[in-house]
Amino acid sequence: MIKPQSSQPIRIRLLAPTETLVCPDSLATMAAFPAFDSWTKFAAESYRFSCYRFVAEGDDGVLGLLVLAHVKHILFGNYLTTAPFASYGGFAFCSPGVCDALLEKARALGKDLNVDYVNVRFDAGESIPPEGWVQHPIYYTYLMDLPDHAEVLWKSFTSQYRNHIRKPLKKGFIVKFGRLDLLDDVYEGLADSMHELGSPYHGKAYLRRMAESLGDALEFAVVRGPREELIGAGVFIFQGNIVTSLHSNILHKFRTDYAGDFLYWSAITRYGGQGFSILDMGRSLVGSGNESFKMKWNPRRQLLAYWYALRDGATMPELNQKNPRFQFAIWLWKKLPGFMVRSLGPLLIKGLA
């Protein structure tokens, strides 16, 4: 039992696999959708991860939560992380004392499992990590306020940017939203666009399992051209009043047609009209082209907390495209034929949770 700054004692408890995670709305919002039992189950089943769900309890009920996935990969190491395959989440607390107690439990579990590091991700990058943890400030997320009427946002854009959004519409581009009825097209669009970027992607079964697990909390989007050609795809996840863009990619040859702008504008008008108030555009590396694209929409730029507790002698992992060691791998991946990357992709991306 650990005492926080207040006098209320804290008890950290590991939930049983069949036990439902229940917490106050404020903590659920802070922990975001990766704390959903449905997401934890989906991630564990997709790649056979072991998952550990901790709650911090006090006299007033649940005070915090921590959900960790144990990833073991021959190339990318042995580690614990919150929010597998998402930008951030799976961690929430109501006070610094609760935060410290949960982080201490994470470090103890990492020591028991002999992992290289523990990674905790959440949306407070400006906060200072406690002793034993290091912040790696390389990712931001981008939050757009969604007005009830899209015209309000439309009028805030320059005439040039409005023309960018109009261009694909005039050419006959369309965006269709749906669920499992769009599975094949969403997979083709995301798998091909990720191949162009030099990055592995999941198998189709991953997207199917995600849609089945999240149910009404997920929606797919597909962008098509005037000849029904596949142009791009997106995956959107709902929690409360927030819509998160988990994946949104456009095939390279259609980017000059501003198809990516059209996909985002379609999501903004759709979800704003449905009463959602925030679009989380997802994480991007600091200084990347993806970040430049998102900043055109004038979002709030939020630094993400990527806190690491490293095993003695371990170095900070660099599992992103800024790592010079990845440059040749990215170049080579782009050159490989489609059938190879679709077979090897799930085996590789399992380690990049």
3-class SS string, the chain: CECCCCCCCEEEEECCCCCCCCCCHHHHHHHCHHHCHHHHHHHHHHHCCEEEEEEEEECCEEEEEEEEEEEEECCCEEEEECCCCCCCCCEEECCHHHHHHHHHHHHHHHHHHCCCEEEEEECCCCCCCCCCCEECCCEEEEEEECCCCHHHHHHHCCHHHHHHHHHHHHCCCEEEEECHHHHHHHHHHHHHHHHHHCCCCCCHHHHHHHHHHHHHHEEEEEEECCCCCEEEEEEEEEECCEEEEEEEEECHHHHHHCHHHHHHHHHHHHHHHCCCCEEECCCEECCCHHHHHHHCCCCEEEECEEEEEECCCCCCCCCCCCCHHHHHHHHHHHHCCHHHHHHHHHHHHCCCC
CATH of the domain at 44: 3.40.630.30
Q: What is the pLDDT of residues 200-241, one digit of tens each?
A: 999 999 999 999 999 999 999 999 999 999 999 999 999 999
Domain hosting 101: range is: 11-122
Mean local confidence (pLDDT), 177-185: 98
Mean local confidence (pLDDT), 321-337: 89
Q: Is the same domain home to 117 and 151?
A: no
The pLDDT of residue 191: 97
Mean local confidence (pLDDT), 8-24: 93
The pLDDT of residue 44: 92
- Distance in angstroms (rounded) separating the CA atoms of residues 3 and 26: 21
The pLDDT of residue 2: 41
* Range with lowest mean pLDDT among 3-17, 169-183, 241-255: 3-17
Q: Residue 3 pLDDT > 50, yes or no?
A: no
Q: Is the same domain home to 162 and 202?
A: yes
Residue 307 lies in a domain: no
Structure tokens at 19: 């036990």
Residue 3 lies in a domain: no
Mean local confidence (pLDDT), 237-254: 96
Q: What is the pLDDT of residues 293-324, one digit of tens each?
A: 999 999 999 999 999 999 998 889 988 887 87
Residue 146 lies in a domain: yes
The pLDDT of residue 122: 97
Q: Residue 5 pLDDT > 70, yes or no?
A: no
The pLDDT of residue 84: 97
Residue 341 lies in a domain: no
Residue 329 lies in a domain: no
Q: Is the same domain home to 146 and 71?
A: no
Q: Is the same domain home to 97 and 217?
A: no
Q: What is the pLDDT of residues 26-73, one digit of tens each?
A: 999 999 999 999 999 999 999 999 999 999 999 989 999 999 999 999
Please give the tally of structural domains in the chain.
2
Taking all residues of the chain, what is their mean pLDDT, rounded to a whole number? 94
- Distance in angstroms (rounded) separating the CA atoms of residues 170 and 15: 53
The pLDDT of residue 28: 96
Banded pLDDT at 150 (limits 50, 70, 90)? confident
Q: Is the same domain home to 197 and 288?
A: yes
Residue 218 lies in a domain: yes
Chain length of the chain: 353
Q: Is the same domain home to 22 and 171?
A: no
Q: Is the same domain home to 116 and 244?
A: no
Q: Residue 348 pLDDT > 80, yes or no?
A: yes
The pLDDT of residue 353: 95
Mean local confidence (pLDDT), 275-296: 95
Residue 330 lies in a domain: no
The pLDDT of residue 7: 62
Q: Is the same domain home to 241 and 165?
A: yes
